[in-house]
Structure 1
C-alpha cells in the first residue's frame, strides 16, 4: 500500500509531489536540493555545501519514512556542471562511508531554483 511522507525537518515540496512515497518495504524520495527546512535556497553555497544540505534533507525524509541513510539502495545525483563531480563526491562520501549504495551521477542543463546539485534515493524500510 502506498503512503506519502512529510516532515518539517526537510523543505516542503514546491510542486505537485511528495517528499517521499513508501510501500511496505521501499522508500522512494523526491530529489532534494540545497533548500533549508524553512525554505531558504542556498544557491550561492559551494557544491560541497549544497551536497551536504541536500543529503541532510534526504536523511530527514528517510527518517520520517522509517528508514535511514544506511538503508539506501540506490542514489541518483544530478549536477548542473559535471565538472563539480569531485567536490560533490568528497561531501557525499562523508554521509555514505562504510557500505555506500549504488549511485549514478548525471550532468544536466539546469536544476530547480538555481541549485548546483539534486539528489534522490531508493531505500528499504
Structure 2
C-alpha cells in the first residue's frame, strides 16, 4: 500500500487559524491517479463549475489537445480568482465527449498537474455544446 503526501503537515504550535490545509493523496493500488484525497485543516472550499474550452471571446480551438489546455487554463483562472492554485485541487472531474480522447487527456492533464494528484473521475458523455470536446470541474481546499 503506497501513500503519497502532497503537502506537509504544519507545526502543532501554530494556531488553528494559521494552519494551512493538509492534503494527502491515498493510492492503495499504485495506479497512475489518486484513489482518494484526504484534506484536513482547511478553512475554505472552492467548487469550480465545469470549465469549457472557450476563451473570453467564446472561441473554441478545433483540436482536442488545444481545447484541453484551454479548459485547464480556465480552471486555473478560477483558482487564481479565489486566491488558490493547482496545489489546492482535491477533486477533478473531466467530462469527455468521446473515449478516443482518453490518452491526449491524460497527457495534457499530467503536463498541467505535474506531480499533483487530486482525486479524479473521468466521464464519457454528451457535452452541452457540440464544439466542446471536454469540460473540467474541480474542488479545491485551502
**Corresponding residue of 1:108:** 125
In the superposition, the TM-score normalised over structure 2's length comes to: 0.66
Which protein is richer in strand relative to its size?
Answer: 2
Unmatched segments (≥5 aa) in structure 1: 1-23
In the superposition, the TM-score normalised over structure 1's length comes to: 0.74
**Corresponding residue of 1:13:** none
Determine the C-alpha separation between the residues in 1 that align with 2:127 and 2:141.
30
Q: Tell me if 1:32 matches 2:51.
A: yes
- Aligned residue pair count: 100
Q: Tell me if 1:62 matches 2:79.
A: yes
**Corresponding residue of 2:136:** 119
Unmatched segments (≥5 aa) in structure 2: 1-42
What CA RMSD, in Å, does the superposition of the two structures yield over aligned residues?
A: 1.3
Query: Rg: which structure is higher?
Result: 2
Task: Determine if contact 2:127/2:134 at 8 Å carries over to the other structure.
Answer: no
Determine the C-alpha separation between the residues in 2 that align with 1:26 and 1:111.
26
Task: Determine if contact 2:97/2:127 at 8 Å carries over to the other structure.
Answer: yes
The alpha-carbon deviation at position 58 of structure 1 amounts to 0.6
Q: Tell me if 1:96 matches 2:127.
A: no
